[in-house]
């Protein structure tokens, strides 16, 4: 087998460059963030080749065997086994609300909720207004490093253009990622349709999470009023798909380039002694 493209030494060196003067806890925090990104990319990588295998006509039994799992396990991972799969991922109540949403996607929801609450104040309605696709679209800019905001900007659109087109915004940047608090938010039919389409895109892309990129694609492929507003601005759904794919490809290439460069130019970090970390952590 060829040498693994991302050696552990390169990953360790990369984490240490994020906060060169940081202490052990900062290193742990940075390592956790990097590991989450790698997990997302590994899921996307596997999902891509599983999709290619299915397109070539291979049965799930052979795909499962190649993965070292049963046919049923492979199908369960990559195919929603029943319609309730959507509610399991997107539900806003229970022990783990929106558990498959990334932190950025969760913050977008809270930012959208803030916009809906502001509109409630303007109308004088005592009841909380549900979050709609317009608030979701405006809230993408509350996470400027998210793929949705990047894709919209790559299309040449400014936040002000989007705010004017969807009738909402600007949205604040909120630190809240308490998924349990999402149960207090309500969503109208346009937002629920966005979630359903976002789930389809996540599964289609081989991802087991829902990020801002899936929410943007979900919103644009619902063919609702907000999607039409984006088309008028010059961002049809197919163009958004191209931009998001390009962003994902660029991210993967950039990360690989950084790791490869560090492997050439930096001495490999010395491995820690076994007793330095508590067993089981």
Q: pLDDT tens, 255-275?
A: 777 767 666 555 444 333 222
**188-246 pLDDT tens trace:** 999 999 998 998 888 888 788 899 999 999 999 988 899 999 999 999 999 999 999 88
In contact, 151 and 216? CB cutoff 8 Å = yes
Our CA angle for 68, 74, 78, nearest 5°, is 140
pLDDT band at 160 (very low <50, low <70, confident <90, very high): very high
What residues contact 168, with CB distance under 8 A and at least 6 apart? 115, 119, 134, 135, 137, 138
Domains of the chain, earliest start first: 8-79 (no CATH), 96-247 (1.10.1780.10)
What average pLDDT does the structure give for the chain? Answer: 78
Give the span between the Cα atoms of 137 and 163, in whole angstroms.
8
pTM of the complete model? 0.59
Predicted local confidence at residue 2, as pLDDT: 59
What residues contact 207, with CB distance under 8 A and at least 6 apart? 40, 43, 44, 47, 214
What are the two backbone dihedrals, phi and then psi, of residue 5, each rounded to the nearest 5 degrees?
-70, -20
Predicted local confidence at residue 242, as pLDDT: 92
Give percent of the chain above pLDDT 90: 31
Q: How buried is residue 107: exposed, middle or buried, by Cβ count under 10 Å (0-12/13-18/19+)?
A: buried
Among 28, 237, 216, 221, smallest CA distance to 108 is for 216
Q: Taking 50 as the threshold, does the pLDDT of residue 137 lie above it?
A: yes
Give the span between the Cα atoms of 167 and 144, in whole angstroms.
19
Predicted local confidence at residue 55, as pLDDT: 78
Give the span between the Cα atoms of 6 and 41, in whole angstroms.
12
Predicted local confidence at residue 4, as pLDDT: 67
User: Most confidently modeled of 29-33, 135-139, 168-172, 262-266?
Assistant: 135-139
């Amino acid at each position: 087998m060829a040498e693994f493209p991302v050696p552990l030494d390169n990953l360790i060196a990369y984490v240490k460059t994020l906060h060169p003067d940081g202490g052990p806890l900062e290193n742990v925090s940075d390592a956790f963030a990097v590991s989450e990104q790698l997990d997302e990319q590994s899921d996307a990588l596997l999902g891509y080749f599983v999709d290619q295998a299915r397109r070539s006509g291979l049965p799930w039994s052979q795909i499962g065997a190649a993965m070292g799992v049963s046919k049923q396990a492979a199908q369960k991972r990559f195919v929603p086994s029943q319609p309730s799969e959507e509610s399991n991922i997107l539900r806003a109540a229970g022990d783990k609300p929106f558990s498959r949403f990334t932190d950025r996607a969760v913050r977008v929801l809270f930012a959208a909720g803030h916009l809906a609450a502001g509109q409630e104040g303007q109308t004088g309605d005592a009841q909380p207004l549900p979050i709609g696709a317009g608030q979701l679209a405006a809230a993408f800019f509350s996470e400027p490093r998210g793929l949705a905001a990047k894709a919209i900007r790559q299309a040449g659109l400014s936040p002000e253009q989007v705010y004017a087109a969807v009738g909402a915004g600007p949205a604040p940047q909120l630190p809240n990622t308490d998924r349990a608090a999402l149960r207090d938010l309500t969503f109208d039919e346009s937002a629920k349709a966005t979630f359903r389409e976002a789930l389809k895109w996540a599964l289609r892309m081989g991802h087991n999470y829902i990020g801002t990129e899936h929410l943007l694609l979900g919103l644009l492929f619902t063919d609702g009023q907000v999607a039409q507003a984006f088309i008028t601005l010059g961002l049809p759904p197919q163009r958004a798909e191209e931009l998001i794919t390009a962003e994902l490809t660029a991210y993967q290439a950039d990360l690989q380039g950084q790791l490869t460069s560090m492997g050439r130019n930096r001495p490999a970090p010395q491995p820690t002694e076994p007793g330095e970390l508590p067993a089981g952590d």
